[in-house]
Amino acid sequence: MRNLIFVTLVTLMSLAGCATPSLTVHDAIVGRSGRVLLVAYVSRESIAGLQKGLANLEINFSIAGQPVGTATTNSHGRAMLECTPSDLTTHDFTARTDRSDAALSCTGQLFVWDSDQSAIVVDIDKTLCDTDHDHLYLKASDDSPPIVGAAEALTALASDYYIAYLTARPHFLFDKTRQWLADNGFPDGPLLMAQGWKSTIRYERYKRRELLRLREFATNLLIGIGDRESDAEAYVANGMLAIHMTSETKTNPVPLTIALADWHAIRRFFEVNRQLLTRPDVLRGQIDNGTLMDELVTATVP
């Protein structure tokens, strides 16, 4: 019996080592300075379908067919390149590795954000999506229903704000998540996901770190929406106004946080505070000097 278990483990490990590598990319945001951070991941499926990052692979990045630089994957399989593109006539970029056993290419989207327009980052699970994890992880398509009013509210907000999606879902679910957002009528925007299971499990740390990196390039990203208190804490820790979607009344609420019960109330809140929230320089100034909460109106939802 022990020999059988040993042979099985060795077989699984050898099969995992022979699995075809994959390359995926983050969507990228070009902000006020014209700088952009391009991120690519190279991984191989390991035991039980988990992804293991491949280190020391050279990744070549290009925009509009022109090389913009090279980066090497770290121990987690992630390569990052900061650059200032000269040609933004196309809104995509390509990451490629040419190593003989891992010749891969992947295209990601570039989102060019004007610094004069405020941006909102939104969580997905239980904020936009009433997630069915069996559908999400085990089935070919995700038939989870959207949270009532979410798509309509974000579509309305997209006329005044840039919209970005930040989730701790592992990155191998990128295509499925992007498709779910499109199928359920959500506005287009950069989709940012966790690299692997470690970040998914430690989602609080992942979101704080990702927002810190993101705000270096998108200083107008000043509002965050999520259903967890930890979402609100991550937004506030990065100098943002937090919208906590909850029906609970907190005795010790997170500072700089507005608690609203549902998307109908969230949409109404943005309507009555439009003059302030759509002006990123004013909004940033009031967050920094601690006067924002005195200026905001929490409307009664009709």
* Residue where one domain finishes, among candidates 95, 112, 129: 112
For the stretch 248-284, pLDDT in tens is 877 667 889 999 999 999 999 999 999 999 999 999 9
Q: Are 85 and 142 part of one and the same domain?
A: no
Q: Are 78 and 132 part of one and the same domain?
A: no
Q: Are 126 and 143 part of one and the same domain?
A: yes
Q: Which domain holds residue 137?
A: 119-295
Q: Are 41 and 100 part of one and the same domain?
A: yes
Q: Are 262 and 161 part of one and the same domain?
A: yes
Q: Are 94 and 135 part of one and the same domain?
A: no
Q: Are 143 and 260 part of one and the same domain?
A: yes
Percent of the chain with pLDDT over 70: 86
The answer to whether residue 235 scores a pLDDT higher than 90 is: yes
Q: Are 165 and 72 part of one and the same domain?
A: no
Per-residue pLDDT, 199? 60
Residue 82 is assigned to a structural domain of this protein: yes
Identify which has the larger pLDDT, 41 or 102. Answer: 41
Three-state helix/strand/coil letters over the chain: CHHHHHHHHHHHHHHHHHCCCEEEECCEEECCCCCEEEEEEEEEECHHHCEEECCCCEEEEEECCEEEEEEECCCCCEEEEEECCCCCCCCEEEEEEEECCEEEEEEEEEEECCCCCCEEEECCECCCECCCHHHHHHCCCCCCCECCCHHHHHHHHCCCCEEEEEEEEEHHHHHHHHHHHHHCCCCCCCEEEECCHHHHHCHHHHHHHHHHHHHHHCCCEEEEEECCHHHHHHHHHCCCEEEEECCCCCCCCCCCEEEECCHHHHHHHHHHCHHHHCCHHHHHHHHHHCCHHHHCCCCCCC
CATH number for position 25 = 2.60.40.10
Least confident of 117-131, 191-205, 226-240: 191-205
* Residue where one domain finishes, among candidates 112, 146, 174: 112
Identify which has the larger pLDDT, 234 or 91. Answer: 234
The answer to whether residue 182 scores a pLDDT higher than 50 is: yes
Residue 10 is assigned to a structural domain of this protein: no
Average pLDDT over all residues of the chain:
86
CATH number for position 276 = 3.40.50.1000
Q: Are 269 and 163 part of one and the same domain?
A: yes
* Residue where one domain finishes, among candidates 82, 112, 142: 112
Residue 186 is assigned to a structural domain of this protein: yes
Per-residue pLDDT, 12? 38
Let me know the angle formed at the C-alpha of 96 by 217 and 137, rounded to the nearest 5 degrees: 80
Instruction: Report the domain count for the chain.
Output: 2
Q: Are 170 and 261 part of one and the same domain?
A: yes
